[in-house]
């Protein structure tokens, strides 16, 4: 698959999402052999390259069924007799299993919000809980979000915390923290943490935060974009705006 260098190794446990991601990769492999780059395949499916990369890397926990169907259709159109895409029925079944699995995902033990829920529980007050108590998964885990826009020291400390969680194989804790930062963090803090992740070589963590942030109300997204522009993170601001547009 010579033109898919933008994709990384699939870093997912065995299960429906990994199988679905592998099926998407198989379709993209057919398109690659037909001469498509990842960007060209994305354009044919009416999405951005970032969105296509996210679904091909298994970063969309609720992948869009219509996009999956379009990827499969495009692969069918450009397949030859020796290479056929996976069964569309199988892909649709895997998609449903992924969605069902998200609905069964347990809630965060600290704040009560499901990791993958798009809604806040009714009992959650409008006033945000103290960030340290919400995000502190253990006593020795410090909050990886800077309280002041542009505070490079705390942005760097956040990256160090993420790396410690990765080293300890505490992926569930890390996923929950990234989700909270993206979905519920103060816009200025969210923007600074995105920048801090990039500075510490944690591009995938930054992308995960932006994928969650893109699901916020439009006004909050614009505040995050504005905060990114204020600290000259133009590329991140543009990526978040594109992801938000795809979520609409």
Domain layout of the chain by residue ranges = 16-103, 131-247
Mean pLDDT of the region 145-155: 38
Q: How far apart are CA 91 and CA 95, in angstroms?
A: 6
Judge if pTM exceeds 0.75.
no
- CATH for the stretch 16-103: 1.10.260
Give me the chain's average pLDDT, please.
Answer: 75
**Would you say residue 146 has pLDDT above 50?**
no
Q: Is residue 76 a contact partner of residue 70, using CB atoms and an 8 Å limit?
A: no
Q: How far apart are CA 49 and CA 213, in angstroms?
A: 18
- The reported pLDDT for the residue numbered 77 is 93
16-62 tens-digit pLDDT: 999 999 999 999 999 999 999 988 998 888 888 888 888 898 888 78
pLDDT band at 171, cuts 50/70/90? low
**Would you say residue 182 has pLDDT above 60?**
yes
- The reported pLDDT for the residue numbered 142 is 40
- Residues 2-22 as b or e (16 or more Cβ within 10 Å = b): ebbeebeeeebeeebbbbbbe
């Amino acid at each position: 698959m010579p033109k898919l260098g933008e994709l990384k190794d699939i870093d997912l446990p065995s299960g429906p999402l990994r199988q679905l991601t592998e099926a998407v990769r198989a379709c993209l492999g057919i398109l690659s052999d037909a001469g498509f780059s990842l960007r060209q395949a994305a354009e044919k499916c009416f999405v951005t390259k970032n969105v296509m990369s996210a679904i091909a890397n298994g970063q969309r926990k609720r992948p869009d069924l219509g996009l999956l169907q379009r990827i499969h259709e495009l692969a069918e159109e450009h397949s030859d007799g020796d290479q056929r895409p996976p069964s569309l029925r199988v892909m649709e079944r895997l998609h449903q299993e992924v969605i069902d699995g998200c609905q069964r995902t347990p809630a965060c033990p600290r704040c009560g919000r499901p990791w993958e829920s798009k809604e806040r529980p009714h009992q959650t007050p409008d006033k945000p809980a103290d960030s340290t108590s919400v995000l502190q998964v253990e006593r020795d885990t410090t909050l990886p979000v800077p309280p002041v826009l542009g505070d490079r020291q705390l942005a760097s400390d956040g990256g160090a915390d993420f790396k410690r969680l990765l080293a300890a194989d505490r992926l569930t804790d890390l996923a929950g923290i990234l989700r909270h930062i993206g979905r519920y963090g103060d816009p200025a803090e969210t923007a600074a943490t995105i920048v801090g992740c990039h500075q510490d070589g944690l591009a995938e963590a930054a992308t995960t935060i932006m994928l969650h942030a893109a699901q916020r109300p439009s006004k909050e997204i614009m505040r995050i974009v504005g905060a990114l522009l204020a600290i000259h993170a133009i590329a991140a601001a543009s990526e978040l705006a594109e992801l938000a547009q795809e979520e609409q």
